[in-house]
Structure 1
Amino acid sequence: MSNQLAWFKSSYSDNSIGNCVEVATPQGTVHVRDSKLGSTPGHPRITISPSTWAAFTAELRGSGVEPPM
């Protein structure tokens, strides 16, 4: 399944050392993974609802931390 998703990195990601989060947003879900692990079989990934993702990024914006997307 992960090979079928269109993953993208945050524009805030640090591409020089690979510290970034990748997100894929097919209809109805948000998938989040560590870019260092990419599509490695069995790598950790979370799948959450769009409303949960929106609440998470809103919290980041309110805290002064740059959101991952």
Structure 2
Amino acid sequence: MPAYKFVKSSYSGGNAGQECVEVARNIPTTVAVRDSKRPGGPILTVAPAAWGAFTADLRQPQQP
């Protein structure tokens, strides 16, 4: 397995026990995502373009 370097989302609070996502973008062809409460658990990997589209969609205003 590649040596992913995970960082906690900037939207995650500093409190332990909160739902947090960690993202690793240190591998050029892959973005890895995991649950910070389960660092040994499953890792979702996606292409950087897919991650960019996903995060761009999250930044869009929500429709009623």
Partner of residue 21, structure 2: 21
Q: Which consecutive residues of structure 2, in runs of 5 or more, have no partner in the other structure?
A: none
Q: Which whole-Å CA distance do the structure 1 matches of 2:61 and 2:43 have between them?
A: 24
Higher percent of residues as strand: 2
State the TM-score, normalized to the length of structure 2.
0.81
Larger Rg: 2
Q: Which whole-Å CA distance do the structure 1 matches of 2:22 and 2:47 have between them?
A: 16
Higher percent of residues as helix: 1
Identity %: 47
Moved over 6 A (4+): none
Alignment: residue pair count = 60
1 or 2 for the larger relative contact order (CA 8 Å, sep ≥6)?
1
State the TM-score, normalized to the length of structure 1.
0.75
Conserved in 2, the CA contact under 8 Å of 1:30 and 1:50?
yes
Q: Provide the aligned C-alpha RMSD in A.
A: 1.5
Q: Which consecutive residues of structure 1, in runs of 5 or more, have no partner in the other structure?
A: 65-69
